[in-house]
Structure 1
Amino acid sequence: MTQGAASTSPWAKVFHGDNGTKGPGLSSEDKNSARVGFREVSFIIATPQLLHQLADCALRNHAVVPSLRKVVSIGYGLPASIRATVKRAFTLTWLGSCYGLTEACGVVAGFLDGQLASSILGYPGPLVQMKVRALHQRFWSASRDLGYYDERGQFFLLERLKNLVKCGGTHVATAELEEALLACAGVVDAAVVGRPHEVYGESAVAAVVLKNCADATTKKARRLQEMIAARFPEHMHLHGGVIFLGQMPRTGSGKIDKQRLRKMCATTSAECKMDWPVLLFCTNETE
């Protein structure tokens, strides 16, 4: 998808006109909860992962933020499991999703009409033109996101192109697998990346953070793989295995660091994981 022009409105005011707190400025989950309490903000805009951290921390600490009324997920789709956690944690009057790009100076599309699904980006905002096109077309800024639009002009996000896994010649949209994993009991965070595979060339491997580290067992990994196998076609199965982490690696903006995850999952060598809390790596070397 591409943008022909960018909205110049501030992120938090493009669709609502509220004063708010942007997600990228938030760091650790405990610091997030404290900041929200001290600032008494009414509006937060953040990535799904940061919203999940905030909500989970608030629930664990029984924190109450009465001033918080509106929450917006920015960047890409908001999984149903995270959406439910946010609703449980805060008393909201509005929970929505917007689509933004750093190079476009903020939000370029937003959700308006009452529906909210993990794949919906919404409608182009003020001063914005969007289209679905082939890569490398001139005069348009390429988002490098894979998506489509419907007859009403509403855009949908399928996957970030850089996150696609090609298993046996077929592309795997990792966002679908991540949403399914996040919906599993005891899973706090999840990400899916590609890993070299002798049979498939590349296969999906799941990096998972559990609420209880003691549950990181081979049996738990097998259950997660069986759940994915029961719901998705074979090329989307976790042929690369499951890796349990003490915490998820993140970039400076709070997004999951998938580049680092790929390096960690590329080999089963323990030496390559000494700099990160890896609890258990269950692979499918016999496939």
Structure 2
Amino acid sequence: MSIFLMSNLSISRFVLAGFPGLEVHYILFAIPFSTIYAMVFLGNCMILHVIRTEPSLHQPMFYFLAMLALTDLCIGLSTVHTVLGILWGFLQDISLDACIAQSYFIHGLSCMESSVLLAMSFDRYIAICNPLCYSSILTNDRIVKIGVAILSRSSILILPGIIRLKFLNYCRPHFLSHSFCLHQDLIRMACSDIRFNSFYALSLVICTLLLDAMIILASYVMILHTVLSIASREERIGLTMVHRFGKHLSPLVQVLMGNIYILFPPLMNPIIYSIKTQQIRVKIQRLFSRNGT
């Protein structure tokens, strides 16, 4: 009788795993993780500020870079409250609605980053392979349309699987395997039919993230130009692949890799593009020298 009742009770709160086995050392992890998040926020905010205030950077390539910085900033904002909440000891569980919302933002923003990187590769392809038509192809009006398409693609494609999460019945052990909510985690705890979610999620990975990565790679191969942007996309795909195919790994390794895949690209992108792009590097140097005087 008790088993029957449990199978019909839907869990409304979930326990965040945090970093299994390292609970007594959370305070030691809290400081570096807080520093990393601060660097993510400051670095991407600086890129946005520089692009906004420097007229010479009001060009298609830098508009796309601003989109990437804004996406990375939002990725950090979508996970900071649960990751640091666990490490600082004031958060242990999360409600179903909050978990679904966080899952939507994490997966949606990952898809958005993929779309922005794809747009950036298109920008470089046009600039190098067809430079005479660059200004006529990538007009301000067309860039706005690309931005709207990126936002629409990322926010709408994720919705069917996320909405379905709200109507699943959760009765299995309610322990999330990460310090934030992922779609894969939630369907693992559902007692309802999850075939739609599983098939849709896999189709989405193949049709968006993997396809985008292949097009990005092909574009840079065609123009014989090596950039580090593709590394960010591969790492974001890695979050899904590790969760799907890394079940033999220890829970701690999965959690650490998940946090690396979430935090490393937003941390490194401002550094990479500041070093690679002379205009941004010069503007940042002027900004610091002005503040120092």
How does the TM-score come out when normalised to structure 2? 0.26
Q: Which has the higher contact order (CA 8 A, sep 6+)?
A: 2
Q: Which has the higher strand share?
A: 1
How does the TM-score come out when normalised to structure 1? 0.27
Q: Which has the higher helix share?
A: 2
